Amino acid sequence: MKITVTVTLKKDVLDPQGKVVNKTLKNMGYNNIANVRQGKYFEIEINETKKEKAKKIIDEISKKLLSNLIIEDYKINLE
Amino acid sequence: MKSAVIVFPGSNCDRDVAIALKKFKFENQMVWHNDLTLPKTDLVVLPGGFSYGDYLRCGCIASKSKIMSDVIQHSKRGGLVLGICNGFQVLIETGLLPGILLRNKKLKFLAKNVFLKILNLNNKFTSSYKKKKIITLPIAHNEGNYFANDNILKNLEDKNLIPFKYCDKNGNIKKEFNPNGSSNNIAGILNSEKNILGMMPHPERLIDPLLSGEDGSILFESLIGI
């Protein structure tokens, strides 16, 4: 089973890379871009057939390794 | 006194700190991150550098390496742990110290000398600084902007667990003398038992007049008990 996890900085944490991307897009003439937040994207293949069990494991590793909950949020996407 | 310097792939201040430890008569051993157990030691040093290329988050992958479970055990037994720069980031990711180190406020890698005020002399790492309470040490980091919630900061301040704060040459602790934007001008913190110190400045880089100063020596003198 393939599961993806997106990790982004919390809303209140400054995202310098997102800001620079936003500014660059404006410089390129995309004036309708309002805001950009940059994050991390993980594709995880897991040897598990039960969806719920897989989700539980991915939830655990998202907390333990993939994100730091002081500054980041994560979102799990089951395919 | 015995010491062990942990070497991660990407550590680059490990040999500098080993030279400093030897100068102050520590019996030092280098320990590879993949080892399972520490040798008998009083002090564990997590050196500066870019462990695992700063992948995922600074210090994150190193904090999960095999040797770290024994480092945690060592600290729980009251053993001394010193994390310098990337080592501080590893301690944060391990959870041995609270808070987090964000990117520097102005988003630039900083490599320069800074003034520090010593605010706690009552621990194994900084006791000898009673002879000099405003010092200079080099910093060299991109993620040194210490951040923690109000409760953690209050606890650090109330229990006097912040031995180093950024200041000017006269010891004034103000925002304009803070190089990286850290909360309360924090440059280093202790755990509540005061056997773990994490700091962004590099004491091992100022241990000889030929290196333009000896303010870092005093930390090693404190540890060895001079």
Q: What is the ipTM of this complex?
A: 0.80
Structure tokens at A23: 């500014």
By the 8 A CB rule, do B10 and B53 touch?
yes
Blockwise average pLDDT, block size 10, chain B, 226 residues: 97 97 97 97 98 95 96 98 98 97 93 98 97 97 96 97 98 97 98 98 96 95 90
**What is the model's pLDDT at position A17?**
87
Residues of A in contact with B93 (CB under 8 A): 68
The β-bridge partners of B167 are B115
Q: What number is the average pLDDT over the span A3-31?
A: 92
**What is the model's pLDDT at position B21?**
98
Give A50 to chain B, closest Cα distance, Å: 28
Mean pLDDT over all residues of chain A? 94
- Show the beta-strand stretches assigned E in A1-79: 2-9, 39-45, 72-78
Residues of B in contact with A13 (CB under 8 A): 102
Question: pLDDT category, A79, cuts 50, 70, 90?
Answer: confident
The verdict on a CB contact (< 8 Å) between B103 and A13 is: no
**What is the model's pLDDT at position B226?**
66
Give A8 to chain B, closest Cα distance, Å: 12
Contacts of B47 (CB under 8 A, 6+ apart): B5, B6, B7, B11, B12, B13, B14, B16, B17, B84, B85, B86, B87
**What is the model's pLDDT at position B66?**
96
The verdict on a CB contact (< 8 Å) between B102 and A16 is: no
Taking the whole predicted model, whether its pTM rises above 0.95 is answered as no
Higher pLDDT, B125 or A16: B125
Q: Using alpha carbons, select from A64, A49, A50, A58 the residue that is nearest to residue A3.
A: A58
By the 8 A CB rule, do B45 and B5 touch?
yes
Q: Pick from A8, A9, A13, A14 the residue to mutate for testing the B interface (most B CBs within 10 Å).
A: A14
